[in-house]
Chain A
């Protein structure tokens, strides 16, 4: 076992961890926002919107994330330069990076999974609690903001925690579109030093630590509303 390389590679490891965490946070936050819309569309939307949201979730949950990522990166990515003026715009430095495509595809994919979880949770909120809100004169938006959504998120929290951990473990796919995430660093160390196991073990520790942090954070949030057993 040789871990002497760590001393020269730790800045790269730290940068990789930052990329991984960024991908996770961006996709979870924006995916969640998107998921709220998709879930509501399925529960209370008009028929055409319902069908669209359901179709979206089925397609994105039904295809491998790797393929979605590549379709976006090689497909849409190769079309972008053809948009007049885009290459000259201030957005181009972001749009040409693999990180952008990884973040977008992870977000879209996460949203599809989360929307299904939220849809179920929205339907699981007792009807009586919504009626109570209405009976006090709450408008639909107040009811959604104060009762329906927070209540549904509480119901879904344990499942969401699991989904976030799964999302963390999907991030190494970003490596295939040139993102220098944790896994990419391990790959680079192997190429440079011909060590196979040591770098993998080190990034494994990183992933486990991140998972522990995620589950801890969700425990804290869940504990805010104690549940009677």
Chain B
């Protein structure tokens, strides 16, 4: 039987800022329906790794395959390799819905306009159909009533839910969450996690950088613990949180009261 191509396969990613090597060869692969959490202390490289996956940060080296399509790299200076074709990157990005820590909704557009922006102006979809889908997604995240509001008039939790609807509206093969609840007031974290949990249960493929350990343990199919630019420990949540092999991981997960 032929195995379907992994939704995402990323191998041996390296990234340095000057002398400081942030990623020292990190890999991840996700089958459809996988929910992979990246955990680790600040500065461990987990956010940088996520941002390398859609090339918001340009990795120095690595191999990237999305749904069977490999990103063409061209050799650069000092043994580095850079994307050869930005058109390809732009096309691949449309299949990676990203949700940011600071929401990053476009302030000059209403919630609905934010959600239909990429479907219409990147994917060239029909406005009416995009609007219908956007309204359905906004209902799903509980923001239908706020669809004509501008982002500045929403709470942080509402903005993040709008940003999730925006990412969903391009029907991404993989969703990337970069600490989606870290900028929220504690009482608003729950509503956003609830939406993400719903997506996980639907079988959405996603990569999630988070500090919400309990949440990561509950929803993930796979957990990666990053430390100083390396994957220090990875496996099913029960292993990483319950019986980690690495001392560093045991220290990290043990220090969190959960």
* Complex interface residues of chain B between 124 and 156 (CB less than 8 A to chain A): 150, 152-153
> Which B residues from 60 to 101 make CB contacts under 8 A with A?
90-94, 96-98, 100
Quick check: A151 and B122 within 8 Å, CB to CB?
no
Q: Which of B90, B96, B117 contacts A139 (CB 8 A)?
A: B90
Asked if A138 is at the interface (CB within 8 A of a chain B CB), the reply is yes
- A129 contacts B104, C-beta separation under 8 Å: yes
- Does A75 have its Cβ within 8 Å of any Cβ on chain B? no
Closest chain-B Cβ to A208's Cβ sits at a distance in Å of: 32
In Å, the complex CA distance between A226 and B108 comes to: 9
Contact with B along A205-229 (1 / 0, CB 8 A): 0000000000000000000011110
Chain B residue at minimum C-beta to C-beta distance from A138: B122
A136 touches B122 (CB 8 A): yes
A150 with B150: CB separation less than 8 A? no
A132 near B93 with CB under 8 A, answer: no
- Contact A132/B104 with A142-B121, A225-B150, A228-B152 known, Cβ cut-off 8 Å: yes
Q: Provided the pairs A226-B150, A226-B153, A228-B153 are in contact, do residues A135 and B108 lie with their beta carbons within 8 angstroms?
A: no
Cβ–Cβ contact A135 & B56, under 8 A: yes
The answer to whether the Cβ of B107 comes within 8 Å of any Cβ in the partner chain is: yes
Q: How far is the CA of A206 from the CA of B92 in the complex (A)?
A: 57
27 CB contacts below 8 A, A to B, read A128-B100, A129-B104, A131-B56, A132-B98, A132-B104, A132-B105, A132-B106, A133-B106, A134-B56, A135-B54, A135-B96, A135-B176, A136-B117, A136-B118, A136-B170, A137-B91, A137-B94, A137-B118, A137-B122, A138-B90, A138-B122, A142-B121, A146-B117, A146-B121, A151-B108, A154-B108, A225-B107
Give chain B's interface residues, CB within 8 Å of chain A: 54, 56, 90-94, 96-98, 100, 102-108, 117-118, 121-122, 150, 152-153, 163, 170, 176
Q: Which residues of A contact B121 (CB under 8 A)?
A: 138, 142, 146
Measured CA separation A227–B108 after assembly (Å): 10
Say yes or no: is A40 at the interface (Cβ < 8 Å to chain B).
Answer: no
Judge if A120 is at the interface, Cβ distance under 8 Å: no
Complex Cα distance A150/B152, Å? 17
B179: min CB distance to chain A, Å: 13
**Once the chains bind, are B100 and A131 in contact (CB under 8 Å)?**
yes
Given the complex of chains A and B, what is the CA–CA distance between A126 and B107 in angstroms? 10
Distance in angstroms between the alpha carbons of A128 and B101 in the assembled complex? 10
In the bound complex, residues from chain A placing their C-beta under 8 Å from that of B92 are 137
Name A128's contact: one of B102, B117, B152, B176 (CB within 8 Å): B102
- The interface on chain A, measured as residues whose beta carbon lies within 8 A of the other chain's beta carbons, has a size of 22
Pick the residue among B98, B106, B152 that contacts A135 (CB under 8 A). B98
Q: Is A147 an interface residue (CB 8 A)?
A: yes
Interface residues of A (CB under 8 A from B): 126, 128-129, 131-139, 142, 146-147, 150-151, 154, 225-228
Hey, which chain B residues are within 8 Å of A225, CB to CB? Answer: 107-108, 150
Measured CB to CB, the closest approach of chain A to B107, in angstroms, equals 7
Given A132-B106, A135-B56, 12 more A-B residue pairs with CB atoms under 8 Å apart are: A126-B104, A128-B104, A129-B107, A131-B56, A132-B104, A135-B54, A135-B96, A138-B90, A138-B118, A138-B121, A154-B107, A226-B153
Contacting residues, chain A, for B102 (C-beta < 8 A) = 128
Which residues from chain A contact B122 at a C-beta distance below 8 Å? 136-138, 142
Closest CB of chain A to B77's CB: distance in Å? 20
Q: A132 with B100: in contact, given A138-B118, A142-B122 (CB under 8 Å)?
A: yes
Cβ–Cβ < 8 Å partners of B96 in chain A:
135
Minimum CB–CB distance from B95 to chain A (whole Å) comes to 8
C-alpha gap A131/B118 in the complex (Å): 13
Please measure, in the bound complex, the distance between the C-alpha atom of A139 and the C-alpha atom of B89, giving whole angstroms.
10
Chain A neighbourhood of B100, CB < 8 A: 128, 131-132, 135
Which chain B residues border A134 with CB–CB below 8 Å? 56, 93
**Which of chain B's residues have a CB closer than 8 A to the CB of A137?**
90-94, 118, 122, 170
Look across to chain B and name the residue whose beta carbon is closest to the beta carbon of A130: B104
Cα distance A225–B102 when bound, in Å? 21
- The interface residues of chain A lying within 8 Å CB-to-CB of B163 are 132
Q: Which chain B positions have C-beta within 8 A of A129?
A: 104-107
Shortest B50–chain A CB gap in Å is 11
How far apart sit A62 and B93, CA to CA, in the bound complex (Å)?
45
